[in-house]
Amino acid sequence: MQTPSSRASAPRALNRQDARTLALAALGGALEFYDFIIFVFFTAVIGQLFFPPSTPEWLRQLQAFGLFAAGYLARPLGGIVMAHFGDRTGRKRMFSLSVFLMAVPTLLIGLLPTYATAGYAAPLVLLLLRILQGAAVGGEVPGAWVFVAEHVPERRVGFACGTLTAGLTFGILLGSLVATAINTIYSPEEVLAIGWRWPFLVGGVFGFFSVFLRRWLAETPVFEEMRQRKALVQELPLKVVLRGHGTAVAVSMLVTWVLTAAIVVVVLMTPTLMQKIHGIPPAQALRANSLATVSLTLGCVGFGLATDRFGVGWMLGVGSLLLLGATYLLYLGVGRAPEHLAALYAVTGACVGVVGVVPTVMVRAFPAEVRFSGLSFSYNVAYALFGGLTPLVVTLLVKNTPLAPAHYVAALCGVGLAVAIYLLTAGRSRFAGTNSLG
């Protein structure tokens, strides 16, 4: 059994078992994130099918987006509960449970009767299923970061977390491609009749496939070593986190805020903003977004590799500066030369890859005994808060200046730079990496 101290004193390279663990974790993360995000691509259809026909169009869309937001609001509760058991009973068990809890509601959404058949029961059941999806993804994302970080050699934690994050972002791309395919194959009437169901049914089946694949994963060496030493936390893990790890929570929430600004504004909101601000045709904006998401996926891996080489502080700082410059270049450049949208967006997407550094900061912030709970609480609460407020803030600011999205991202890049400076100075001993996963 490899102890934390042996990991630090006898560095090793990634082996075949590490590669399999990373591949299965990233694949499962991609499929689970696809299950969670596919809803947003069909909110207009769901608004028509699950609410009374007499409902005004704006209200139907508001209600549909409310159902989508319910998943985000459920993330903290699901994440905290699963993290509690992850710290007490094992990482692998919760890692498998989260993907199962995502697969079931996704499959059921594809089978749901609509308002025309079930009346108000249809949106109420859909709300319940979205809450279950949110609870599942709340445990999946932090659990996956902890799982891969505790499996690989210490000097490859950045690469592991970056690769897992790349898998999650690939899930967004997969959802976009599937939605595009459905709307290409089927007419609008056929999408309403049956086409909208296929992405959920396929996602549910893929989810069960991921459950099967995760049966082959082993518990993390760090947790097994703690279990043998009988060093598992005896108190409520979250209580220990809040009582003794306030700085780690604050740092983790701040870097999560940086992550939400990058993902929500640059990846999710920018296609619509480009259409509104610069008159970019929808098809062109979506194609450029797909290219940017591919760049983001590669960027996460690249930033993860660089983190192992240069450290989390340096890469968070450099990445924040690169994202700041690229975002302004995108919004200013498209305003002057719309034909360069795809190239500019691809470059910006690669710079958004700095989010691949964020999980490395967080897994090193907390001791192993409460790592899952500390990371899950910080990440999910911050994402629910900032992820929910960011679209509203940016939308209001755009009324005053078309550069508002870039200004918002730049402000959060400033936060990322401030955290990077802290990591390079006062936080060096905790976040540098030596023995931090023990």
Q: Given CATH 1.20.1250.20, say whether it is the number of domain 234-438.
A: yes
192, amino acid identity: L
**Residue in 176, 100, 171, 164 with CA at minimum distance from that of residue 136:** 100
Q: Which CATH architecture has domain 14-232?
A: Up-down Bundle (1.20)
How many whole angstroms separate alpha carbon 434 and alpha carbon 342?
41
How far CA 185 is from CA of 129, 189, 253, 313, in Å, comes to 27, 12, 42, 47
pTM for this prediction: 0.88
The pair of structure tokens assigned to 370 is 């409460």
Task: Show me where the domains of the chain are located.
Answer: 14-232, 234-438
Contact partners, residue 316, CB within 8 Å, separation at least 6 = 255, 354, 357, 358, 361, 416, 417, 419, 420, 423
Residue tagged 């993902």 (tokens): 263
211, amino acid identity: V
- Same CATH fold, 234-438 and 14-232? yes
Q: Is the distance from CB of 179 to CB of 199 less than 8 angstroms?
A: yes
Residue-by-residue pLDDT tens, the chain, 438 positions: 344 444 444 467 788 888 888 988 898 889 888 988 888 788 878 888 998 888 887 787 677 777 877 887 888 989 999 999 999 999 998 988 998 999 999 999 999 999 999 999 999 999 999 999 989 989 989 999 999 999 999 899 999 999 999 999 999 899 888 988 898 899 989 999 999 999 999 999 988 988 888 888 899 999 999 999 988 988 899 999 999 999 999 999 999 999 999 998 999 889 888 988 888 887 888 889 999 999 999 999 999 999 999 999 999 999 999 999 999 999 999 999 999 999 999 999 999 999 999 999 999 999 999 999 999 999 999 998 888 788 888 888 888 899 999 999 999 999 999 999 999 997 666 665 433 454
